[in-house]
Structure 1
């Protein structure tokens, strides 16, 4: 199952604590504590997620990876299905994005969502 398919994408993000899924912006959007950490676009089947500043520089130099439109200032990337990254690497970056965004939530909310504090 590919992460660029809705079922594969949802299986991964549902495995992360405190995650909710909504349809928004012509995409399947994964949130933690009402904050977006990744999304899969409906038409082009692109995956977008938040990354650290260092990862942003590294990833945007790869084929099939670009600055995410509307999110680039906040260090978001977008991947097309022909990206150089392997599925396991993409999954790990999505997990890191979840941790980055969840880390910005209050301790109380993280505890309520079952996210290690």
Structure 2
């Protein structure tokens, strides 16, 4: 997946927003909470939240590691040379969106309109 395809996919989710954090990371959020982060510096790498079972399964695969600073929250970092298909990537990012959206407080869901 290329950065523009990742960007278009993440922004296709209801009420998804984007901003740049830490000078070189494109962050996608829902209700102010991140669900995917992509490096703007080549080669493309991106991180997202997973379930605990997916976390262990994914980090056993080539090119996927626990995400720095976020691994304790079951985030993974997908790097160049990974073995995920584009369909798997989309499913995992959708799961991340759903996990983050599901953890929003009622107040945050109302404020975000989700």
Length-normalised TM-score, structure 2: 0.90
Q: Structure 2: where are the runs of 5+ without partners? A: none
SS of 1:23's equivalent in the other structure is: strand
2:28 equivalent to 1:20: no
Structure 1 partner of 2:83:
84
Equivalent pairs, count? 112
Which runs of at least 4 in structure 1 moved beyond 2 Å after TM superposition? Answer: 106-115
Q: Structure 1: where are the runs of 5+ without partners? A: none
State the shift of 1:18 in Å.
1.4
CA distance in 2, matches of 1:19, 1:102: 10
CA distance in 2, matches of 1:49, 1:102: 13
52-61 or 6-15, which deviates more = 6-15
Structure 2 partner of 1:38:
36
State the shift of 1:7 in Å.
1.1
State the shift of 1:113 in Å.
3.8
CA distance in 2, matches of 1:38, 1:75: 12
CA contact (8 A) 2:27 2:37 kept: yes
- Per-residue CA deviations over 1:68-107 (Å, capped at 9, x if unaligned) read 0111111100001311110110111000000000001123
